[in-house]
Structure 1
């Protein structure tokens, strides 16, 4: 951890799922803070104000202030403020928390196209409906500016994956045949705002999604840690494209205690041969006898990723286990199998 001066931590699927903390997350982040690391919470979810988010995190047991929370609503407002004149009207598709951020940068939030907005800003709200999208569609038909706070297609919850802001953005994209500017991850504005706020020079971006958190880290040229507590799966990691590949891979935030052990690299417990798009995985004499051991499984996954990512091969990789231990690991991780179709 001495290589990093700040942790930029995602929330949904990384720190909590719904109202409850993911097991071990609070303890790991508090330990990191006590070791002197700056911890910032950087969320693509634009539905809540920073104060509301910080109160939620404090109830879970985290030590923080409102300034430690950076939301995509703040980033979206900042993106708009650089492009339109102060006092301009902006149609808000989202919560009052997003409207407040628009007011905070000197713009006027409105809810209907009849109020002559010069731009649309769109963030997640569980109450967004057809009428809201219809008003936004009318404004977009005038070639107005369109900023999406984020484009996550799903939102992790304690009940499972729910439609995210990106699904609502997709509806407007289809209707307007336009593309929004994106403020949140994987675009750089949100993470850059977080970096500037704490004055970090070597941040570590942490999250549960390859397509937002890890890609966002690549966008600001920062190292990244993917935790498997939310959206992305082991199979997703293995098949990830270059700009979505994490520096570190772990089951959860407990990896912060020994980050080097989570680096995506070769492992003495596992041997991987690459033959085209087939990865032959076999256990070495150093492999644990118990293939149900989660650390052993993730060590195998890191070894597979390292071997595949080190090649120039194209296509979708599959794994062929070479022994019973490897067979059990491939099954537990639900990895794509060679010859499985």
Structure 2
């Protein structure tokens, strides 16, 4: 179903449905610009396109140029609170023209998951905001407010700061009664303009705590990134054949790309910093690494070498020693970071490497 230009460049072309995803041991090269190697960019929003409600530097111009070149853009978010129409309007105000059809939310993914398991028109106790309610109704499901209305399913999605505690009580009672339990996503936290706030995963934990006394404690079926239902929803809605996942989080965006067996680009404009990238587990390692969305229009350099000779990228050479990473050379700091990724990922599991000095030299 999906094709991986990066895997092909690395000599490991993927079959239509490979048994296992290809896990990179270094950032991979792409001789052409990413906008020509892929047909659709599946872009995360917060930390990639905008931050605190405002556009990330270079995002507006880069996305406009990528679209003009023929790359299709789709915006994939775990936030179930807002409708696609609201998200598209926000993007358009920022200077990134978008249609509702180009926005895929975890609310849509979980609504499809529920609709596949209950009859059309079934009652669903929804604990969340408008985005979740609209997605359920679009699937022909009937939204109800309480556990006493005999729902066929209960679903939680991020409800925003105005969500009432009573909604969680209704969800907990329904789950205690054996009603199938769903969640749009389980992100414990979300970024806000004032700091880190509790996410939908925190609300899911409240219901879990309230039901853990049961003989068999229930677990929700989760749709959002990094799990397959979200990637499936993105592919079904976009029709992408050569998608590239673009994100700023290792445990949602990048892991989700691995779960979907497609390539990924990590941009350093969001929550993941350079030290976290170097320490990434195999399923959290992106195909490509870049500073920001300008990389969609650029080729990706090759990281050469091995553990013995060191890992080079353009003017940089990185080695993994007994207990630390070392770096020599000069040039673009992101190229130095790519070389460090090769060295750190090759040594992963052998020791905990000290990365502070090497990263300080790059300004990270």
Equivalent residue, structure 1, for 2:256: 216
Q: How does 1:130-169 map to 2 (within 5 A)?
A: 130-169=165-204
Q: 1:272 aligned to 2:312?
A: no
Q: Shift of the alpha carbon at 1:327?
A: 6.9
Q: TM-score, normalised by structure 1?
A: 0.87
The answer on whether the counterparts of 1:24 and 1:254 sit within 8 Å (CA) in structure 2 is: yes
Cα deviation for residue 317 of structure 1 reads 2.8
2:71 is the counterpart of 1:32: no
Alpha-carbon distance, 1:328 to partner: 3.5
- Structure 2 residue 122 is the aligned partner of structure 1 residue 82: no
Distance of 2:154 and 2:166 partners within structure 1: 14
- Whether the 8 Å contact between 2:43 and 2:76 is mirrored in structure 1 is yes
Q: 2:276 aligns with which of 211, 236, 242?
A: 236
SS in structure 2 opposite 1:144? coil
Q: CA RMSD in A?
A: 2.0
Q: Secondary structure at the match of 1:101?
A: helix
Confirm or deny: 8 A CA contact 2:245 2:265 kept in the other structure.
yes
Q: CA deviation at 1:299?
A: 2.1
Deviation of the 1:315 alpha carbon: 4.6
Count of residue correspondences: 318
Instruction: Using the TM superposition, give the Cα deviation of residue 170 of structure 1 relative to its aligned residue in structure 2, in angstroms.
Output: 2.0
Deviation at 1:151, TM superposition (A): 1.2
**2:60/2:96 contact within 8 Å kept:** yes
> Structure 1 residues 84 and 266 mapped into 2: Cα distance closer, same or farther (>3 Å)?
farther
Q: 1:1-341 alignment to 2 at 5 Å? A: 1=34, 2-126=36-160, 127-177=162-212, 178-261=218-301, 266-276=312-322, 278-284=323-329, 287-288=330-331, 295-296=332-333, 298-311=334-347, 313-319=349-355, 321=357, 326=358, 328-329=360-361, 332-333=363-364
Which whole-Å CA distance do the structure 2 matches of 1:239 and 1:174 have between them? 32
Q: CA deviation at 1:312?
A: 5.7
- Report the counterpart of residue 336 of structure 1 in structure 2: none
Structure 2 gap ranges (5+)? 1-33, 213-217, 305-310
CA distance in 1, matches of 2:152, 2:110: 15
Cα deviation, 1:263-303, whole Å, max 9, x if unaligned, reads 89741433222234x2331213xx14xxxxxx41x222221
Query: 1: CA distance between counterparts of 2:69 and 2:303?
Result: 20
Which structure exhibits the higher relative contact order, with contacts defined as CA atoms closer than 8 Å and separated by 6 or more residues?
Answer: 2
TM-score, reference length from structure 2:
0.82
Tell me the distance in 2 between the aligned counterparts of 1:217 and 1:6. 13
Distance 1:279 1:65 in 2: 48
Deviations 1:20-69 (A, max 9, x none): 11111111111100000110011111101111111111111112211111
Provide closer, same or farther for how the CA distance between residues 257 and 141 of structure 1 changes in structure 2, counting only shifts above 3 A. same
Contact 2:78–2:225 (Cα < 8 Å) also in 1: yes
